[in-house]
Structure 1
Amino acid sequence: MSSTSPQPKSMMRPTQWSEQVEEAYRFQLAGYRDELEYKKFQKTDNVDRWPHNGYVKKLTRRDGCFYYYNKTRECPDKEISKTKIYTY
């Protein structure tokens, strides 16, 4: 990771599900902090999303494999508090 990548000012752990939590969960499952880190690492401006709700559809992992996500919520209740929400 290069030093030019923005570093988060703070991190919080959510207590209930939201679309923001779902977004963070999908990026973190694929091995990234969030969308900013994903775009920097993959050198892309494009994230493959479901057109009807904007949820992440597909991510490239750091090892080059892919994660494919459903159209609906994927973050289970037990994972909500393990998800990290970063602020910059």
Structure 2
Amino acid sequence: MSSGVLDRSGQPKSMKRAQRWTGEVEDLYRFQQAGYRDELEYRQIKQTEIDRWPDTGFVKKLQRRDNTFYYYNRKRECDDREVHKVKVYAY
């Protein structure tokens, strides 16, 4: 995520659904599975570094809001039939 200019609340201006799989959609899928909007919201709430797979760059592990963890594979986990469920936010 870029550190562009955000409003003070950090709330998104708009949302659209993903149309096709990309690396960004894969990461959003993982954050949303763990109960967060995206990487920005995760960093605001957890204030911790994000573990990523060194070869693919995908998220490796996320802490859910109930403090349990989700562990992800290094390969794609968001199937084509799940792509349309991923929300892509614009700030």
- Do both proteins adopt the same fold according to a TM-score greater than 0.5, normalized to the shorter chain? yes
Deviation at residue 15 of structure 1 after TM alignment: 1.4
Identity of aligned residues (%): 60
Deviation at residue 79 of structure 1 after TM alignment: 1.0
In structure 1, stretches of 5+ residues that fail to align are none
C-alpha RMSD over aligned residues: 1.0
1:28-64 per-position Cα deviation (integer Å, ceiling 9, x unaligned) = 00000000100111122x1000011210000000000
Structure 2 residue corresponding to 1:74, chosen from 74, 77, 81: 77
Structure 2 residue corresponding to 1:15, chosen from 14, 19, 33: 19
C-alpha distance in 2, partners of 1:69/1:12?
24
Q: Runs (4+) of structure 1 moved beyond 4 Å? A: none
Structure 1 residue corresponding to 2:41, chosen from 37, 55, 73: 37
Q: Specify whether residues 72 and 63 from structure 1 end up closer, same or farther in structure 2 by C-alpha distance, changes over 3 A only.
A: same
Which runs of structure 2 are paired with 1:54-69 in the superposition (5 Å)? 54-69=57-72
TM-score (norm 1): 0.91
Give the number of aligned pairs: 84
Q: Does 1:84 align with 2:87?
A: yes
Preserved contact between residue 11 and residue 84 of structure 1 (Cα < 8 Å) = yes
- 2:31 aligned partner, one-letter code: F
Preserved contact between residue 5 and residue 40 of structure 1 (Cα < 8 Å) = no
Structure 2 residue corresponding to 1:48, chosen from 37, 48, 51: 51
